[in-house]
Amino acid sequence: MDERAAYQRINLLIPVYAEEEIWEHAKQAGYGIEEEGIPYQLIQCQNPFEEALAASQRPGLGVALGISQTEGIGLFSRILKESLPVFCIKDPSRAQARILGKNGARIIKKSPFVDWEDRDA
């Protein structure tokens, strides 16, 4: 595979950046993305929100999730001009993490978002 093809393949997915301590939530977000039929990748890092914001601005699908113990879970997308998450939940349940993963995929599919406000674990 040439370098260009590899670059495109890597970027045609939704990256989920997460701290090790909150890895279960990252897995749930991934399942949400997977159920919607979009490829994803879980990446462990120290500053998930920064990484997710940067990833969402790069070429590719333009959607990324950041999950940290202190900041919660944030869904970033190139569709927003501001450097803010489309959604952010401070203290998410596992069910909410999965829904935010779904919503990330739904930005790409242009489907209405799933309401996460009333869902808990």
Using the rule CB under 8 A, is 57 a contact of other proteins?
no
Site for other proteins (CB under 8 A): which residue of 19, 22, 36, 53? 36
Using the rule CB under 8 A, is 25 a contact of other proteins?
no
Rounded least distance, CB 31 to other proteins, Å: 6
Please answer whether residues 118 and 89 qualify as being in contact, where contact means their C-beta atoms are separated by less than 8 angstroms.
no
Q: How far apart are CA 29 and CA 63, in angstroms?
A: 13
Residue 26 identity (one-letter amino acid): A
Using the rule CB under 8 A, is 51 a contact of other proteins?
no
Q: How far apart are CA 109 and CA 27, in angstroms?
A: 21
Residue 14 identity (one-letter amino acid): I
The answer for 8, left when phi > 0, alpha when psi is -120 to 50, beta otherwise, is: alpha
**Contact string (CB under 8 A) for other proteins, positions 69-88, x = contact:** ----------xxxx---xx-
Rounded least distance, CB 51 to other proteins, Å: 22
Q: How many residues bind other proteins (CB under 8 A)?
A: 18
Q: Which one of 4-12, 43-51, 58-66, 106-114 is the stretch in contact with other proteins (CB under 8 A)?
A: 106-114
Q: How far apart are CA 71 and CA 51, in angstroms?
A: 13
Residue with tokens 């897995």: 27
By CB under 8 A, name the binding residues for other proteins.
Answer: 31, 34-37, 79-82, 86-87, 106-107, 110-113, 115
